[in-house]
Amino acid sequence: MAAVVFYGSTGVSWWLFGLLILAPDLSMLGYLGGPRNGAIAYNALHIVIVPVLLLLAGRLAGNATAIAVALIWIAHIAIDRALGYGLKLSTGFQDTHLGRIGRKRETLSP
């Protein structure tokens, strides 16, 4: 939520947000080259360090567009994590550092 709130303060159009919010998922095309290549491509665009560096560079340069793009990217990653989509393992798209996607999570009984 913080990334979205800060995005609103950049003054950059919400059209850009709508256009780019799913852009990191284009990295899934890497899976056309197999699970190992797919995991590398996907993870490259779903780790926080790169957009944080872009955010810092944008801030130092006073570039509102770079800041906005970085915040969109961070929001995408945060939403993925909140939905249980983690960084991919080379064994397949469903296997992540948070566990297997689609597997029913066990709940603790009282």
The H or E element spanning position 93 is strand 92-96
Which pLDDT band, with edges at 50, 70 and 90, does 99 fall under? confident
Residue 2 is assigned to a structural domain of this protein: yes
User: pLDDT (tens digit, 9 = 90+) per residue, 50-74?
Assistant: 999 999 999 999 999 999 999 999 9
Whether 97 is covered by a domain: the verdict is no
Residue 18 forms part of a structural domain: no
The total domain count for the chain is 1
Q: Which helix (H) or strand (E) holds 77?
A: helix 64-82
pTM for this model (two decimals) = 0.84
**In a domain? residue 56:** yes
SS3 for 102? coil
Residue 6 resides in a domain: yes
Note down the domain range covering 88: 1-10+36-92
Query: What angle (nearest 5°) sits at the alpha carbon of residue 54, between those of residues 52 and 55?
Result: 60
Q: Map residue 42 onto helix, strand or coil.
A: helix
